Amino acid sequence: MIFPLCKRKEQVKTNKFGVFFFGLISFFLFFMPKKLFSVPLNYAIGGYLGIAPSLGCDLQSMRQYYFYNSQSGIDGLNRTQEGYETKNGDRLLGLVGGISGKILIFENYQFRIAFNYASGILGGEGTTLYGSTPDLLEFRYSFRTIDIPFVFGIVIPFWKDIKVSFNCGTAFAYGWYTNSFTENGVTTYKGKFSGKAFPLTILLEAEYFITDKLAVTSSLSYYRGSSKLFTDEYDEDGDVDYARLNFSGYRYSIGVMYYFLSI
């Protein structure tokens, strides 16, 4: 990752077509008639909770890269040496919650839209070494995001009570990322970044129907994409940092789904 020492904040331009596209699909999802041109349709709505290992990916920034010699974000910061008390920092484990709605065509194809919120709950802090002396460095991270994925998928039924779907699309994702580095317990540098991106989204979902309308769901989703480079929004420490918001990673979740028409 290369961090140019730019002097202005780099903004991501608003994707007006993407916003319009999400709004149009949302409208059709909830207001389309039960049959469109004699095509049988079904509707479903549900909710879920899950976890996101490595939320924010490697949490890389310019300060880590140049000042603390870490070319792989939080992973590259972890160093130990005899005579120093250090603590390894792990990537953030995130808690994810969301609601989703979908429309099925012929019960074999589906459009799915969702609203998700994810926030780091474990990891993202530790004590390490930097410099040739070496010196102690305490670090701390946070990352949270909202995203609206829209995907199209193929539904494969197994018997009457099990369905598996393979879906692919994109998402509108907005995130907030902060970091903090304290050198020898004296000087602290903080960074704060926020921005959006449109990551690739792949979703594998399995459903087990406990009634003809209610299903228990389990899903694995994968996001791939990051924002443009942003300038540190925290000015009080007199330091300037640069970072991208990385939305790449896996998410595992379980939930329930209610169908308006019997399967």
Are 208 and 215 in contact, with CB atoms under 8 Å apart?
A: yes
**Per-residue pLDDT, 32:** 52
| 185: in domain | yes
β-pairing verdict for 125-130 and 135-158: antiparallel
pTM above 0.85, yes or no: no
Q: What's the whole-number average pLDDT of the chain?
A: 88
Q: Mean per-residue pLDDT for 220-224?
A: 97
Q: Mean per-residue pLDDT for 75-91?
A: 92
| 187: in domain | yes
Residue carrying the six token digits 């926030």:
119
Tell me how many domains the chain contains: 1
pLDDT at 226 over 70: yes
| 37: in domain | no
Q: Mean per-residue pLDDT for 107-125?
A: 96
| 161: in domain | yes
Q: What is the Cα–Cα distance from 217 to 155, expressed in whole angstroms?
A: 13
| 28: in domain | no
Q: Mean per-residue pLDDT for 206-228?
A: 96
| 22: in domain | no
What's 125's domain CATH number? 2.40.160.20
pLDDT at 85 over 60: yes
Are 64 and 77 in contact, with CB atoms under 8 Å apart?
A: yes
| pLDDT tier for residue 28 given thresholds of 50, 70 and 90 | low
pLDDT digits (tens, 9 = 90+) for 42-82: 999 999 999 999 999 999 999 999 999 999 999 999 999 98
Which residues span the domain enclosing 119? Answer: 42-259
